Amino acid sequence: MTSVPVGRSWTTGIVREIERPTDQLVKIRFEVADRTPHRPGQHYVVRLRAPDDYTAQRSYSIASDPDDPLVEIMVEVLPRGEVSPFLHEIAEVGDEFELRGPIGRWFVWNDDVPSICIGGGSGVVPFVSMMRYAQRTGIDPRLRVIASAQTRERLPYVDELESYGALVALTRENHHDRVAAHIYPDEVKALAFGAQRAYVCGSVGFVSFAGRILGDAGISDENVRVEQFGPSA
Amino acid sequence: MGVTRGFTGRERKGADERLPPGQYDTGSSWPVLTAELAPHIDLTTWELAIGGLVEQPTNWTWDELRALPASSYNGDIHCVTTWSKFDTHFGGVSLDTLLEVARPKPEATHIVATATTGYTTNLPIDDVLDGKSWIVWEFDGKPLAQEHGGPVRMLVPHLYFWKSTKWITRIDFLDHDEPGFWERNGYHDRGDPWLEQRYQGDA
């Protein structure tokens, strides 16, 4: 296994930029003290601390290129959530958060392996980091991306995904000449040709769906790396 | 580190003493986190192998396992991704029952549990013996769902849940510690939620 760096202790992140692209998304860019360089696909843990020392922490995939001076995350606001609504409604430039990262050595793109990524909704975030890295280093032919969401509005980084050449599969609205539909097998087959590995990130139901269509496209289960989130049905 | 500006946290009630540090009560939901696709397991050919440093390497078929005295766990479970779930009910068999047959050798200090997917995790034997671990196939009186490791998984509820191998198919006894899948990928070797042993480098 190639060596992948892992942040071993808590550090401080200062919010340098914050954007709310929709009422369900918040993009935060941190300046991280004592930063350990990340690999595309890794994540950071954000920890909030209340006056009575109660803490809440959540993991968020990194969206930024390793070369970016700031670390970027894109958080989807969950109804009845504790951390994501705080980040969307209260966090501001200049705030300091406890951060830990980068974490994870499995869901990391090995850039010499031609790969296909399938993300559902905010599951595209780790692939944005991979795309930015691939474009900067000129190896983008090795990374193909499929991004699925109900609507354009629900897909973070939709403009950037399109300019990269990702296949954007919307299930509830037509998109250019593509009729609203789940990702269908022929779309995957074309992009999976020559891929030696697949990365899938999204909700539990989405991951199981993506796994089946990857299998139909000839990618075997042991070559599929998964990151899934959310409650099971 | 100081207080986060403007953060008060969710309203906290009496359940707090059951929550290890940094955890929240997930209520009735049961989040899923896996690193690979959920496999389909055929119980007519499935076997649980117990091997390594044991007096009697053993292979249990599904029917043989079901014929053993049942044992259940009623209590809380904790995931490193910070959710805890209270008052769960799992049904299966205590690992102690299987080890009465296999009989770990005196030099055995650790186990590695392996799933059909190739997933592995390591545990000190003190964390799995004497009523601390189970092989389970029921949750809340129903068959364990595939995404939660069904039809059959390991259960080690006093440690973070990545130690409770889904889709288990082997347990090997070793005379040394051998990090498993998540442990090689940045997670702690033991994973005690009360000590908050989440990642490598934690106490």
Residue B81 pLDDT > 60: yes
The pLDDT of residue A231: 59
Residue with structure tokens 């919010």? A15
- Mapped onto helix, strand or coil, the DSSP state of residue B106 is coil
pLDDT tens track, chain A, 233 positions = 346 777 678 999 999 999 999 999 999 999 999 999 999 999 999 999 999 888 898 999 999 999 999 999 999 998 888 899 999 999 999 999 999 999 988 899 999 999 999 999 999 999 999 999 999 999 999 999 999 999 999 999 999 999 999 999 999 999 999 999 999 999 999 999 999 999 999 988 899 899 999 999 999 999 999 998 765 43
CB A180 within 8 A of CB A171: yes
Pairing mode, if any, of strands B110-115 and B168-174?
antiparallel
Nearest CB among A58, A222, A232 relative to B32 is that of: A232
Cross-chain residue pair A6–B1, CB shorter than 8 Å = no
The closest CB to that of B35, out of A9, A56, A226, belongs to: A226
Nearest to A203 by CA among A104, A148, A123: A123
* A98-137 residues touching B, CB cutoff 8 A: 98, 100, 103-107
Say what the pLDDT of residue A198 is: 97
Determine which helix (DSSP H) or strand (DSSP E) holds B84, and give its type and residue range.
strand B83-94
Classified as helix, coil or strand, B150 is coil
Q: What is the CA radius of gyration of chain B?
A: 17
| Pairwise CB contact (< 8 Å): B184 & A105 | yes
A232 vs B contacts (CB less than 8 Å): 29-32, 145, 147-148
Helix (H, G, I), strand (E, B) or coil at A105: coil
What per-residue confidence (pLDDT) applies to A233?
A: 35
The predicted structure's pLDDT at residue A230: 66
Whether residue A19 contacts residue A26, with contact meaning beta carbons closer than 8 Å, is answered with yes
Q: Is-contact B78 B20, C-beta < 8 A?
A: yes
C-alpha count within 13 angstroms, C-beta hemisphere, residue A74: 22
C-alpha span between B98 and A40 (Å, rounded): 43
Cα angle at B111 between B60 and B141, to 5 degrees?
Answer: 50
Token reading at A184: 């269908």
Closest among A98, A10, A29 to B3, alpha carbons compared: A98
Using DSSP's 3-state secondary structure scheme, residue B186 falls into coil
The helix (H) or strand (E) run that includes residue A97 is strand A96-103
pLDDT at B13: 60
Dist CA A129 CA A135 (whole Å): 10
A6·B186 Cβ contact <8 A = yes
Predicted TM-score of the model (pTM): 0.83
Task: Look up residue B155 and give its two tokens.
Answer: 């259960």
Q: Do B7 and A50 touch (CB under 8 A)?
A: yes
Distance (Å) of CA B68 to CA A57, B28, B64, B140, B173 = 41, 31, 7, 20, 22
Bridge partners (DSSP) of residue A14 are A31, A96
Least confident of A18-27, A51-60, B61-70, B173-182: A51-60
Residue of A203, A223, A201, A205 whose CA lies nearest to A214:
A223
Contact B34 A226 (CB under 8 A): yes
Query: By C-alpha distance, which of B172, B131, B138, B174 is closest to B153?
Result: B138
